[in-house]
Structure 1
Amino acid sequence: MGRRHLHHPRPPRTREVRTPMNRLNSQYHRPALLIFLVIVVAHWAEHLVQAFQIWGLGWTTAESRGVLGMPFPWLVTEEWMHYAYALIMLAGFIVLRPGFAGTAKTWWSIALGIQVWHHFEHLLLLIQVQAGTTFFGQAGPVSIAQLIVPRVELHLFYNGIVFLPMVVAMFLHRRPGPTEADQMTCTCAPRELTGAGVR
C-alpha cells in the first residue's frame, strides 16, 4: 500500500482592497497634497488681496472683494466663494488624513480641528445670507467670533492658524522619523528616509 498524501487546502490568498481612499492616501497622496496646497494658497490669496484692497488701497470693506469677487461679486455677497473654500479645505483635511503618521498626523489633526470651527463660522454666514435673515440681533450676517473681532481680521487669523499646523504637518510628513516612516503608505517622503515606497 502506497503512502497516502494528505492534501491540505491552501488558505485563500488575501488581497488588499485598493479603494479610492487607499489610493489617495498611498500612491496619489503626494499629488493630492500638492493640489490641496494650491487650493489653500488660492484661499489665502483671496484674503490677502482683500486685505490689501482695504488697507493698501483704502477701499471700503464692501468694495474689497478679493480676486474672484471683483469679476464675480455675487461669489462674495452671497457667501458662496468663502464657504466653498472652507468646505473644500475641510474635506481635504479629512480625506488626506489617513496618509499621515505620527507627529505629522497630530499636526494635521490640529489643523483639521481648527478648520471644523472655521467651516462652521462660514456655514453660519452662508445660512444667514441665503435665508435673508441675521443672527445675534445684528444688522448684517455675522459669525460667532465676529461678534468680537472684525470679519476681515478674523478670517485672516483663521486662515493663519489653520495654515501653520498644516505646513508643519506637511514638512514633518516629508521628513519622517524611523517609526513614522514604517507607518507610511505613501511616497511623499524621499525613498532614502522610508526605504520603501507604496505598499
Structure 2
Amino acid sequence: MNRLLSSFLPGNGQGQTPKTLYFALLVAACVISALLIFAFWVDGWSIWILGLLIIVAWLPLIFSVMSTIYQQHPWLSLLYLVVVGQAAHMIEHLTQAFEIHVLGYAGPKANGIIGFLNIEWVHLVWNSWVLLLVGILLIGYRKNGWLWFLFAFAIYHELEHIYMVYMYMKTGHPGNPGFLAHGGLFAGGLPITRPDLHAIYAVLEEAMLLMIYVMEQRKVKKAAQFQLATA
C-alpha cells in the first residue's frame, strides 16, 4: 500500500510528509470505512449518510497527499485534486449502473449513493467545475495533447448538461436523454440509456485524467532526477 501511495507523489523532495504517516492515514481510512459499512448494515442507515461519512474518513489522507504534491509541484496537486474528485463522481455513476443492472432498481430508486444530489442542476455544476479546472490545467500543461482532448470532451459534456437543464426547466421533467442516449437529440441517440452512457463518460474522463497525471508525474520525476544528477 505504501507503493500505491508513492505512485501519486512526484518525487522525494524535501519537506515531504513521511510515508509512514500516509500509511497510517490509509489504514485509518480503511478501518473507519469498514466500521461505517458494518454500522450501515446493522443499524440500517441511509446509504447517503454512509457515503458522506466515508468521504470524510478519506479526506485527511487525500489532503495530506495533495499538500505534499503542492510543495513540489502546484500544477500537479491541482491535477491530483481533479483525479480524486472525478474518481468519486465515477463511483457514483457506477453505483447507479449497479443498482439498475444488478439490483433491478428503476427510475428514481436508482439514484446512486448520495441520491439527493442526483438532480440536473448538480450534474451541471459538477461538469462545469471539471471543465473549469481542466481549462486552468491547460495553462500549466498546454503541451499535453490528452489534456486538450479531455478539455474538448468536457466542453461537449457541459453542452449536453446545459441542454438537459434547459429541457428540465422547459418541461419540468428530469432525466432527459441529452444528445446521444436513447431518444436523444442527435438522430434519436444510441441504443443505450442515459445512466449507462454517462457512466461510460465518467469512466473515460477518469481514465484520461489518470493517464495525464501519470504522464506529468513522470516528467516531474525525470526533471528532479536530472537536477539531482547534475547538481
Sort the TM-score into its range (normalised by shorter chain).
Answer: 0.5 to 0.7
Q: Please list every run of 5 or more consecutive structure 1 residues that lacks an aligned counterpart in the other structure.
A: 1-23, 177-187
Cα distance in structure 1, aligned partners of 2:224 and 2:197:
42
The answer to whether the 8 Å contact 1:94/1:112 transfers is yes
The answer to whether the 8 Å contact 1:101/1:173 transfers is no
Q: TM-score, normalised by structure 1?
A: 0.66
Paired position in structure 2 for 1:144: 179
- 1:10-159 alignment, distance < 5 Å: 27-69=73-115, 72=116, 75-76=117-118, 78-100=119-141, 102=143, 105-132=144-171, 141-146=176-181, 147=184, 148=190, 149-159=192-202
The answer to whether the 8 Å contact 1:174/1:189 transfers is yes
The answer to whether the 8 Å contact 1:93/1:108 transfers is yes
Deviation at 1:51, TM superposition (A): 0.9
Cα distance in structure 2, aligned partners of 1:152 and 1:142:
9
Deviation at 1:190, TM superposition (A): 6.0
Secondary structure of 2:150's aligned partner: helix
Larger Rg: 1
Q: Deviations 1:79-127 (Å, cap 9, x if unpaired)?
A: 122212211111111011121254xx11111111111111111111111
Aligned residues: 150
Q: TM-score, normalised by structure 2?
A: 0.57
The answer to whether the 8 Å contact 1:175/1:193 transfers is no
Deviation at 1:189, TM superposition (A): 3.8
The answer to whether the 8 Å contact 1:44/1:159 transfers is yes
Structure 1 residues 194 and 90, CA, compared in 2 at 3 Å: closer, same or farther?
A: farther
State percent identity of aligned pairs.
22
Cα distance in structure 2, aligned partners of 1:127 and 1:114:
20
Cα distance in structure 2, aligned partners of 1:107 and 1:142:
27
RMSD: 2.5
Paired position in structure 2 for 1:15: none
Cα distance in structure 2, aligned partners of 1:194 and 1:95:
28
Higher RCO (C-alpha under 8 Å, 6+ residues apart): 1
